[in-house]
């Protein structure tokens, strides 16, 4: 598959994933379920940008680890700060 | 760069190493703002839920699609430069700028609406951090747009080609970093909690 096609499918997946994110954000799930679902989609979207648009899928693993580390760390921090009070209250 | 390559040898980073270090520094700066937002949200969950209710997720969706489409067009422009089609790359970069303007116009509209409704920087903790975090990202978008405009100008003058493309790749990588930051900021500010 040409790189242009890869980029197109990444863009399409990103748009669909954004729509899914908005749907999940407004759904009547528990907070824990909503946070987990929305952040998993955010990490997938980050991967599409890092490996697709930035093309790090072709480069040394350490750069992918560093770049994937940022959305993973942010998602963990967001989840922890939202869910720790939620579980302490329940 | 073909994905059909059978080679297992890792390829070089697109763009200059200095740009990647700058990107990591920028992500570290975004981390500080995100940390401030999340920790304060943990302390004042009801205040943040009420503040978030004033924001429109569908506007956030449209802004996100504008930015992601811009990133897609900029990535296509890099592809064109790699096959010595710099003038086509210039047109794609102009389209990338136009797509990003969807984000800019909607963000300015949102800022105007909130300011007129009284939800300014000093209204409460949610709006203080909303303005600081999103304005920090908004300023990066403007810087990125200036970079894209400069790249388009250089492409139009055939300043990049398959052998001389590092500056082009570096500028576009910076633009993708702004997308990456927004992918985390959008659910945090508009959806979760």
Report DSSP letters for B33-61, one per residue. Answer: HHHHHHHHHHH-HHHHHHHHTTS-HHHHH
Domain B17-191 fold: 1.20.120
Q: What is the pLDDT of residue B3?
A: 44
Provide the chain A residues 46-75 that lie in CB contact (below 8 A) with chain B: 46, 49-50, 52-56, 58-61, 63, 66, 70-71, 73-75
**Domain spans in chain B, listed from the N-terminal domain onward:** 17-191
Place of tokens 């633009």: B175
Residues of B in contact with A6 (CB under 8 A): 3
In this prediction, residues A72-85 reach a mean pLDDT of 94
| Chain center to CA of B41 | 24
Q: What is the pLDDT of residue B4?
A: 44
- Nearest chain B CA: its distance from A69 CA (Å): 11
Whether A1 shows a pLDDT value over 80: the answer reads no
Q: Half-sphere exposure of A29 toward its Cβ, with a 13 Å CA cutoff?
A: 17
Say yes or no for a CB contact (<8 Å) between A10 and B72.
yes
Instruction: With cut-offs at 50, 70 and 90, classify the pLDDT of residue B8.
Output: low
Mutation target to probe the A interface, by most A beta carbons within 10 A, among B69, B75, B100, B174 is B75
Q: What DSSP designation does B163 have?
A: S
In this prediction, residues B70-82 reach a mean pLDDT of 97
In whole angstroms, give the CA distance from residue B64 to residue B137: 12
Query: CB-based contact (8 Å) between B70 and chain A?
Result: no
Task: State both tokens at B74.
Answer: 């900029």
In whole angstroms, give the CA distance from residue B148 to residue B95: 10
What ipTM was reported for this prediction? 0.94
Q: What is the pLDDT of residue B114?
A: 96
In this prediction, residues B60-66 reach a mean pLDDT of 97
Contact yes or no for A29/A18 (Cβ under 8 A): no
Tens of pLDDT, residue by residue over B128-137, are: 999 999 999 9
The sign of the torsion formed by the CA atoms of A72, A69, A9, B146 equals positive
Residues of A in contact with B1 (CB under 8 A): 3, 55, 58
- Residue B82 burial (CB count, 10 A): 19
Say yes or no for a CB contact (<8 Å) between A25 and B176.
no
């Amino acid at each position: 598959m040409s790189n242009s096609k890869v980029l197109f499918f990444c863009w399409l997946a990103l748009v669909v994933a954004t729509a899914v994110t908005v749907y999940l954000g407004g759904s009547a799930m528990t907070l824990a379920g909503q946070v987990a679902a929305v952040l998993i989609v955010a990490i997938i979207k980050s991967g599409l940008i890092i490996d697709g648009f930035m093309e790090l899928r072709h480069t040394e693993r350490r750069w992918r680890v560093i770049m994937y580390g940022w959305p993973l760390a942010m998602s963990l921090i967001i989840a922890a700060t939202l869910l720790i009070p939620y579980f302490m209250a329940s | 760069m073909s994905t059909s390559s059978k080679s297992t040898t890792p390829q070089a980073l697109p763009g200059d190493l200095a740009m990647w270090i700058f990107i990591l520094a920028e992500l570290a700066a975004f981390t500080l703002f995100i940390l401030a937002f999340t920790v304060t949200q943990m302390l004042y969950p009801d205040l943040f839920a009420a503040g978030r209710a004033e924001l429109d997720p569908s506007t956030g969706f449209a802004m996100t699609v504008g930015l992601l489409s811009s990133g897609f067009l900029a990535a296509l422009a890099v592809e064109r430069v790699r096959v010595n089609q710099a003038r086509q790359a210039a047109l794609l970069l102009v389209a990338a700028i136009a797509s990003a303007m969807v984000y800019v116009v909607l963000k300015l509209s949102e800022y105007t609406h909130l300011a007129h409704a009284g939800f300014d920087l000093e209204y409460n903790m949610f709006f203080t951090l909303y303005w600081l975090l999103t304005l920090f990202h908004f300023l990066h978008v403007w810087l990125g747009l200036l970079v894209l405009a400069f790249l388009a100008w250089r492409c139009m003058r055939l300043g990049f080609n398959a052998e001389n493309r590092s500056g082009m790749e570096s500028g576009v990588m910076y633009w993708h970093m702004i997308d990456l930051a927004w992918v985390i900021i959008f659910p945090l500010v508009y959806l979760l909690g």
